[in-house]
Amino acid sequence: MAAPASAATPKVELRNVNLRYFGLEGETEALKDVSISIAPGEFVAIIGQSGCGKSTLLSLISGILMPTDGTVLLDGKPVTGPSRKVGYMLQQDYLFEWRTILENAVLGAEIQGADMAKARERAAALLTRYGLGQFLRHLPRQLSGGMRQRVALARTLCTEPDVVLLDEPFAALDSQTRLALSDEIAVILRREKKTAILVTHDIGEAVSMAERVIVLSRRPGRVKSDHAIRFAGAHGTRPTPLAARNSAEFNGYFNALWQELEVHVEG
Ligand code: ADP
Ligand code: MG
């Protein structure tokens, strides 16, 4: 019998992972010798330039994609395909325009063949908690971009995953909404003790939301560095992302990561 996962078992682990895409135009090396270990309940951001393999990394963790070499583990067990333990939230909300907000929020549960009465109850509770209680019977087009992303979050959390993968979930939003929503979502994921992996190319978003920021190099993506992000908060509690942005430490982290990302304006 397999040993139970102990407190020391990482929630998510990548061991020497390589990923090569094989296509008509030849081979693309997307990730090279990536090893990352993420503890239960940790909130980690992964940053890197466009095309460095960030989405590929999340696809590997979600079990949609298998590594060319190396191993991906969830609770100490090799990932062999998609798992109910993992929820995925994307930049596009992919809401179905003909379904009500509530029916959109239960979509994941429906696909998994879950008890739909319970799923509807859970989705309604989540939507209400996220300030959308009055919109359960509305259609997506009646909602703002920020509200739609909250529906997408409710849909992701409705299936009760332990691990939440976020692939640039705020990138399509205006900057005001983006700040407010990233703040809300970070608070929600912490309160619900989810293990969260946020992929972004926005340094400020990473530093303000995550307790750890991993930098990937340009393609093929390798782990370039791994930073613990600490704020001198009251009683060791983490400030909300908005408060973190106003803290004394924020600019130091921002500048260090900016240097590492080797951001160059093209042209
Ligand atoms: P990021 O999310 O950091 O922008 P991706 O993980 O999407 O990067 O892609 C990493 C690299 O792999 C890019 O060069 C991209 O063009 C390539 N790539 C992504 N998906 C495929 C695919 N299905 N087939 C071939 N190449 C791909
Ligand atoms: Mg991407």
Q: What per-residue confidence (pLDDT) applies to 7?
A: 62
Residue 217 Cβ contacting ligand 1 at under 6 Å: no
Tell me the pLDDT tens digit for each residue of 52-88.
999 999 999 999 999 999 999 999 999 999 999 999 9
Query: Could you tell me the CA-to-CA distances from 118 to 33, 127, 164, 189, 215 in Å, in that order?
Result: 42, 14, 21, 21, 40
Residue 254 Cβ contacting ligand 1 at under 6 Å: no
Cα of 106 from ligand 1 centre, angstroms: 30
Q: For residue 140, what is the DSSP state?
A: G
Q: What per-residue confidence (pLDDT) applies to 5?
A: 59
Which pair of structure tokens corresponds to residue 194?
Answer: 């989810």
Q: What per-residue confidence (pLDDT) applies to 18?
A: 98
pLDDT score of 267 more than 50: no
Q: Quick check: 91 and 167 in contact, CB under 8 A?
A: yes
Residue 52 Cβ contacting ligand 1 at under 6 Å: yes
Q: What per-residue confidence (pLDDT) applies to 264?
A: 57
Percent of the chain predicted with pLDDT > 90 = 72
Q: Which ligand is nearest to the CA of 92?
A: 2
* pTM to 2 decimal places: 0.91
Helix (H, G, I), strand (E, B) or coil at 128: helix
Helix (H, G, I), strand (E, B) or coil at 178: helix
Residue 51 Cβ contacting ligand 1 at under 6 Å: yes
Please tell me the number of Cα atoms within 13 Å of 228 on its side-chain side: 4
